[in-house]
Amino acid sequence: YGYNRQGQSAILGFVPYELSELRLTFLRDNIDKDKQPEHAMDAFKTTRKVGKLNIRLGEEDLSNTLNLELAAKKIERKADNFHLRDASPNVKVEIKRDVLETNLKYDVDFASLHNQIGAGFEKDKHDGKRYIKQGSNWVFNGYRFADVRNDKFMLFDTLAYKFNEANEASLALKYEEQRSKLNGIDTKFFVKNSIAPNTTRKLFRQIYGEDVSDKIKKDAFSASLKYKFTPNDKDSYFAKLESLSRLPSNMERFNTLYGAGDNGWIANPNLDPQRHNRAVLGFKFGSQFYKEYLNSLQNKDAFSFGGHFIADSVKNLIIFDRRHSKAAMPLNKNAVISRNVDAT
């Protein structure tokens, strides 16, 4: 085990006048020679780059403020079984992901009411290919991610009402719609066994017994009702009733790397969003001398602690499982799959 890691970051801010602010952030994270003996390959090169622009127009206290955020993320990973170990035949996987995000939100106060309304958009391009070396040539023999394209739209609103300095109630709503396209679903790749699936579409059909469209649309709606009691600046208590929905990730829906034997990893592109219907009780309190972690008065009894209790009923919980197939064909017989279950 072990790896080499180095990174850089920079933040540039500009405040032309009190009602506007610009902030530019850049982050680069580089991981080399990541030894992973528990897997068939080592990630010998991983690079992450993130750039973000934040623009504020209006009051700094969010009483009448427009905030715009633009972000670009670029991730590249190269893994193989020959840089950090000796294995045959030589195999490599190359993954590229580009994400563009933008969201616009407006905050405004009306007496004791505060409202935040906003919208967002995310464009995600995710491609991952595996190659096997035959002679002096590299041959494409499977997708990790079959040239996936996701477009996600978001609308959200949070309305908070302050009865007095100690009591506040809020209602938050969020709607998301994701449209996915698998550009590589019918692209053929090399397979040694002539009866084995040689496209991602055929692979999905073999594992899940149904055809998969190259265009998939999913949506999710979430709501949260919260009451918060703050008797002083050290103590707070809250109660929440929530129905939260989560769209599946690319790893849960679109990972399609079949195994050489019975141990592939083929996710389910038709997963339903995961929903949590739950009640939450939480608290936090501290002594009068406590300020914050590592910043309290010396030689005083300064402490703070908190916790929460959750009762949760989950519909369409997304889990990873094994296929446990009894089919005669050994390929992907015990592959990792993803599926929905209900849980409490």
In tens, the pLDDT along 244-268 reads 999 999 999 999 988 766 778 999 9
The pTM is what?
0.90
- Tell me, what's the pLDDT at 295? 66
43-91 pLDDT per residue, tens: 999 999 999 999 999 999 999 999 999 999 999 999 999 999 988 899 9
Of 254, 299, 49, 256, nearest in space to 142 by CA = 256
Q: Mean pLDDT, to the nearest integer, of 140-147?
A: 95
Q: Are the C-beta atoms of residues 179 and 150 closer than 8 Å to each other?
A: yes
Residue at 275: amino acid letter: R
pLDDT at 298: 63
Question: Which residues pair with residue 337 across a beta bridge?
Answer: 321
- Mean pLDDT, the chain, rounded, equals 93
Q: Which amino acid is it at 129?
A: K
- pLDDT (tens digit per residue) in 280-313: 999 998 877 777 766 665 656 777 889 999 999 9
- For the segment 96-100, the average pLDDT, to the nearest whole number, is 98
Residues 306 and 283: their CA atoms lie apart, in Å, by 5
- pLDDT of 274: 97
**In this structure, what token pair is assigned to residue 106?**
């407006």
- In single-letter form, the type of residue at position 158 comes to T
Instruction: Choose between 127 and 298: higher pLDDT.
Output: 127
Instruction: Evaluate if residue 138 carries a pLDDT over 70.
Output: yes
Give the per-residue pLDDT at 221.
98
| Percent of the chain at pLDDT exceeding 70 | 97
Q: Are 305 and 280 in contact (CB under 8 A)?
A: no
Q: What is the pLDDT of residues 155-209, one digit of tens each?
A: 999 999 999 999 999 999 999 999 999 999 999 999 887 788 899 999 999 899 8
Q: Which residue has the tokens 């829906």?
A: 253
Three-state SS string over 41-83 comes to: CEEEEEEEEEEEEEEEEECCCCCEEEEEEEEEEEEEEEEECCC
